[in-house]
Amino acid sequence: MRNFKCKMTTVLSLAVGLPMLCMANLGDVYLSTSQTPANPVVNDSITWGEDWTKITLPYEVEIPKNGAVYMALENQYDGNKIKQVTLEFESISGGFGYSNPAGFAGYPTSTGLDPKAWNVSSIIYPDKPELFTLKGTINPQPSWEWIKLRYPESSTSVSKIKITNYSSSCVPEPSTIFILSFGGLFLGKYKTKKHL
């Protein structure tokens, strides 16, 4: 019984500690109102072009008729982690009903950049129609990612929104979790034998 408790304590400690150990380094938040913004350049560091502006949240921005805005985050590439992204905003004026939010991520390679699309899902609050939440998962964690918010083509007015949160976190891939958990079991068994 003592062995079992020791093992379970070690595994639970690891399981609880993993999200804390793997929190993503939150980089600067960038915004672009260009309809065809250039991707950042990834070398030892990330260089954002003139299409992008670093912003501080909360931030209000207008979306032109039939236009779009891009929200970007800067990360540090890690092939052993999965990225989880959350974007929250609210409609201020002009109404807002985005269509097909899209995600895009960049990975450094020997030839420069390997771009990759990722899925963005939306959460709508029936009792608060002015609030919107977008979530997505990227595997593996890229050097950077952006979300495109496009105003519906049927719109005839300018929409103003306030970005309230754009954040991310990362978790280890399942194989990494298995290795750490197995190591925890072994460590628990070793400690138990040592105390007997």
Domain extents in the chain: 25-169
Which residue, among 87, 90, 159, has the nearest Cα to 122 in the 3D structure?
87
pLDDT at 102: 83
Q: What is the pTM of this model?
A: 0.72
Token pair 């952006």: residue: 146
pLDDT at position 35 over 70 = yes
| 2-21 vs 174-195: helix crossing angle, rounded to 10 | 140
Peptide bond into 174 cis (omega under 30): no
C-alpha 81/C-alpha 145 separation (Å) is 15
pLDDT at 109: 65
Which residue, among 79, 115, 98, has the nearest Cα to 163 in the 3D structure?
98
Work out the pLDDT band at 70, boundaries 50, 70, 90.
Answer: very high
- Average pLDDT rounded to a whole number, residues 94-111: 74
pLDDT at 5: 43
DSSP 56: -
Most confident of 70-84, 92-106, 145-159: 70-84
How wide is the angle at C-alpha 133 spanned by C-alphas 131 and 134, nearest 5°? Answer: 150
pLDDT at 9: 38
Strand ranges (DSSP E) for 64-156? 68-74, 81-93, 102-109, 112-118, 120-124, 131-138, 144-150
Which residue, among 54, 67, 122, has the nearest Cα to 94 in the 3D structure?
67
- Average pLDDT rounded to a whole number, residues 38-58: 89
pLDDT at position 48 over 70 = yes
pLDDT at position 15 over 50 = no
C-alpha 5/C-alpha 3 separation (Å) is 6
Pick the CATH number of 25-169 from 1.20.120, 2.60.120, 2.60.40, 3.40.50: 2.60.120
- Average pLDDT rounded to a whole number, residues 140-165: 84
Peptide bond into 58 cis (omega under 30): yes
Work out the pLDDT band at 168, boundaries 50, 70, 90.
Answer: confident
DSSP 139: S
DSSP 51: T
Higher pLDDT, 4 or 170: 170
Work out the pLDDT band at 11, boundaries 50, 70, 90.
Answer: very low
Higher pLDDT, 50 or 157: 50
